[in-house]
Structure formats: structure tokens, C-alpha cells
Homo-oligomer: A and B are copies of this chain.
Amino acid sequence: MAQAAGRQVLSGLRIVEMSAFIAAPLGGATLAALGADVICVDPPGGGIDIGRWPLHNGRSRYWAGLNQGKRSVTIDTRTEEGRRQVATLIAAPGEDGGILLTNLPSAGGSSYEQLSKLRPDLIMVLITGRRDGTAAVDYTVNAAVGFHVLPAWDAMTGFLAATAVLAAERHRRITGEGQLVELSLMDVGLAVAGHLGLIAEAILDEEPRGRFGNNVYGTFGRDFGTSDGRRVIVLALTPRQWRCLGQATGLTERFSELGARLGLDFREEGDRWRGRQQICELLASWIGGRGLADVRNLFDKHGVLWGPYQTFKQLVAEDPQASTANPLFEEVEHPGLGRYLTSGSPLRFGAAAAVSPRAAPELGHRRGVSRVRPGAHEVTGLRCSRVRSA
């Protein structure tokens, strides 16, 4: 890799990671790939993702891709001693330490409040499915926001560019050096393909994985129609979610019979994948016999991981998450467009003031201009506009 010698850009920064699924491990892998020391705390034998499909020689390429460049420590957090060890590791001293990245609300048995007693300047970044802490995964979020075409690579590159600005600013503070940081959309696409194990799969496997309709690969997930013409996505990525699905639909017994007949144990993700066709037949009939309101009621009551497919129209009409009931949003006046629901940052900082969502500026030559004050000296002759909050 033809880059400058010297320190790595996040050299010294130490992050403890306790994570599952994709977002949190990818966050850690992103920091590790910039030179941060990322220490994963795993339960003995590995966590929920250690055997997640796709597999190769019985090992998870998914896990291998999302944990590149990290260190691992195994601790049994079911014991008091284990929980103490984790808390001590997270709150260990040093100005570059005391940072936890997790999607487990009570990481290793300790809340932010408890951990910050050990180290008052502790930083904890917590990823949840929904803002209220309830479960949502990529598939349910994707169903809820009705993108026809999503410029996903642009969005990822934009967020990574924000990371780049802050990493370079940290480097400048430590070393005094500025620098050119480059990134390309295509490299972001390739890196994500790598982290998700798909480049490995293309290299290691003779045959590509083939087609499997709308099923989520290697686990249980598919879309179903309701009796009133709506569609929902239903998933069971964990043994608990599988249990909830049986309870909500009253199909527990029929799932057991089916598993016995097929010689499959549906508590295992791989077996849910193998038996997906027969599981889907039972579920399609159950969901197809009910309206969306009924399905919603029963699924929510039993904690099923599911979500309705929504157009953007349905999202703003039906979903309280896309309303001012969600503190992410405020009503903002946009010049020439009108007043509408506008989001702030999805990042919520516990010790920093929120930034209210604001409109885009009028172009600088328009009315309402004020002078740019770029630091110590004013740049003569430049005028700069901003739309004021309503």
C-alpha cells in the first residue's frame, strides 16, 4: 500500500467492542483499518455471529470479514468476575482509552451509568435498532423507508468522508501535520464487499451461491402478503426471535413437527435456512389470512422481528417514527419549498447540545447574507448566507 510512512492515523486510540450483527462490528473494523487498537470482547466459544453463514470449512466468512484487524479477548460475562473484568477493561485509563463501541445496551452487564463510575470521562457509542431500543435490523429498516433506488454507496462514502475529516483532524492535533485524504466510491464498495465475506466467497467457492428469491441468505427471513394487500418482512435471526414467531402465530407445534419430519432443528439458523420453503408455506398461509393491523398487533405483542413494507407516502402517513413524535425530526421552513419534517443527526450525544435541523442556505449572493468569519482573520469581500431557524 503506497502511503506515507510514520504513525497510523488512529494510532494509539483504543476501543473496546462488544457487538453482534453488522453495524457495530463494521464500525470497529473501520477504526481498526485506520490503526486503532480494537479489542473485541467475546464469550468463550464465540458470540452469536461466530458460526453465521456464509461458512467455509465450517468457519464463518462473515465473522472473518467483519472482525478484520481486531484483537479478541474471551470473557464469560455470566459470572460476576467476568463482568468485573469487562468493566475494568472498558474503563482502563489513558487519554486514548475508555471508549466502548457496542450494540448491546447492557454491555457485559454494565450500563453507561455504571461504567462511568469507574471512569467519569468514558465514551460509549451504542447502536440500537430503533431509537426506543426495540429491535430493528437492516431488512426491517429497508422495508420501512420506501426507497425505489437507494444510492447506498454514495451514502456510505459520505459518512466515511465525515470519519476521514475527524481522523485527519485528530492526526493534526497530535502531530501538527495536515494531509490529503482520498477515498473513492468504488473502493468503498469493494471494502464493504470484503467485510461482508463476499469477495472471499467469490474466490474460495467454486459455485456462486445461486438464486433464492426473496429469502435472506443463511437464516430465516422473507416477505409475505397480508389479506388487505400489504406486505411485511418477517425474520428470525436468533433462537429467541424464532421462539417469538412460533408464539405469535400459534405455529410452535407445527414448526416442531415440520422440523422432526425434515430432520432439522429450527433453533439453528442454518436449519431454518434449509427448511425455509416449508416454514414459509405455513407462515404465508397464517399471514395471508390476516390484515396488517392484526399481524402488527400479534407480532408486536410477542416481540417478533418484522416490519411493514411502506412507501414514503405510507411512512409519513402511518409511522410515528417519521413524525415529530421522533425527536430526530422538527418542522423546518425551506425557502421556496415550504415547511416539512426535517431530520437532524441520527447521532445523539449525551453530553453535547443537539443541533436543531436547519434548511439549506440560500445561495451566497442572495438576501440575508452575512460576512464569513473564517478564524482569526476575516476574508475580505466574501459574503455568506445561512437560512435562520424558523
Which chain B residues border A342 with CB–CB below 8 Å? Answer: 68, 194, 199
Q: Closest approach, in angstroms, between the C-beta of A308 and any C-beta of chain B?
A: 13
Q: Closest approach, in angstroms, between the C-beta of A383 and any C-beta of chain B?
A: 6
Q: Closest approach, in angstroms, between the C-beta of A40 and any C-beta of chain B?
A: 7
Using an 8 Å CB-CB cutoff, how does the interface string of A54-85 with B read, 1 for contact, 0 for none?
00111101011111111111110000000001
Q: Does A275 contact B (CB under 8 A)?
A: no
Which A residues from 272 to 294 make CB contacts under 8 A with B?
none
Nearest B residue to A57 by beta-carbon distance? B336
Complex contact B71–A181 (CB within 8 A): no
Complex contact B312–A141 (CB within 8 A): no
Q: Closest approach, in angstroms, between the C-beta of A332 and any C-beta of chain B?
A: 8
How many copies of the polypeptide does the oligomer hold? 2
Q: Does A258 contact B (CB under 8 A)?
A: no
Using an 8 Å CB-CB cutoff, how does the interface string of A157-184 with B read, 1 for contact, 0 for none?
1111111111111111101111111111
Complex contact A14–B124 (CB within 8 A): no
Complex contact A129–B184 (CB within 8 A): yes
Q: Given A70-B386, A186-B321, A343-B191 in contact, is the A198-B168 Cβ separation under 8 Å?
A: no
Which A residues from 148 to 164 make CB contacts under 8 A with B?
148-164
Complex contact A89–B379 (CB within 8 A): yes
Which A residues from 215 to 253 make CB contacts under 8 A with B?
216-217
Complex contact B152–A138 (CB within 8 A): yes
Q: Which of A35, A172, A186, A384 has the most CB of B within 10 A?
A: A186
Nearest B residue to A59 by beta-carbon distance? B336
Complex contact B96–A375 (CB within 8 A): yes
Using an 8 Å CB-CB cutoff, how does the interface string of A360-390 with B read, 1 for contact, 0 for none?
1111110000001011110101111110000
Q: Closest approach, in angstroms, between the C-beta of A215 and any C-beta of chain B?
A: 9
Q: Given A177-B351, A183-B127 in contact, is the A31-B193 Cβ separation under 8 Å?
A: no
**Number of A interface residues, CB 8 Å?**
203
Q: Does A264 contact B (CB under 8 A)?
A: no
Using an 8 Å CB-CB cutoff, how does the interface string of A4-24 with B read, 1 for contact, 0 for none?
111111010111000001111
Complex contact B349–A171 (CB within 8 A): yes
CA distance A346 to B230 in the complex (A): 40
Complex contact A374–B94 (CB within 8 A): yes
CA distance A24 to B375 in the complex (A): 23
Complex contact A190–B145 (CB within 8 A): yes
Q: Does A268 contact B (CB under 8 A)?
A: no
CA distance A178 to B351 in the complex (A): 7
Q: Does A44 contact B (CB under 8 A)?
A: yes
CA distance A343 to B351 in the complex (A): 35
Nearest B residue to A45 by beta-carbon distance? B363
Additional 9 contacts, C-beta under 8 A, given A27-B159, A61-B337: A13-B169, A34-B355, A70-B360, A71-B384, A72-B360, A138-B151, A156-B159, A191-B343, A194-B343
Complex contact A167–B168 (CB within 8 A): no
Which chain B residues border A129 with CB–CB below 8 Å? Answer: 184-186
Nearest B residue to A360 by beta-carbon distance? B67
